[in-house]
Structure 1
Amino acid sequence: ISTIKDLKGLDVGVETQSSGQIAIEKHPIIDDINELQKYTNISEALLALNAKTVDAIVVDVTFAG
């Protein structure tokens, strides 16, 4: 995934109340995402990604590095 447009049609995870969640929900791509899954913390989101429960996660830049 290189751009936000690559999220189209995917199941995407976010950490609840993170800047990533706020950004994705305000972006027009939200209408093209299959499903937005919300997780209590980034660890839960990462576990879901590893388990292939979601196709991608949106994380804050400080976490992604």
Structure 2
Amino acid sequence: MSDAVSLATSILTMQAASTQQALSIEMLRQNAQAEQGLLAMLQQSADQAKAMLPAGQGGNVDVSA
């Protein structure tokens, strides 16, 4: 009887660990997607700001002077 209980406990523990790992992977995937969306938004904002500058502005700056 004790062997059956310990076997059942082991199986339940392994299932819980598997579920926790699957949830962690899903959370990491969603976090990566959110970061990609944020980066795309920031890039679009930077591109729009650069497009609004007059000609000759927003290029390279000579810092050797």
What band does the TM-score fall into relative to the shorter chain? under 0.3
Question: Highest Rg: 1 or 2?
Answer: 2
TM-score by length of 1: 0.19
TM-score by length of 2: 0.19
Higher strand share: 1
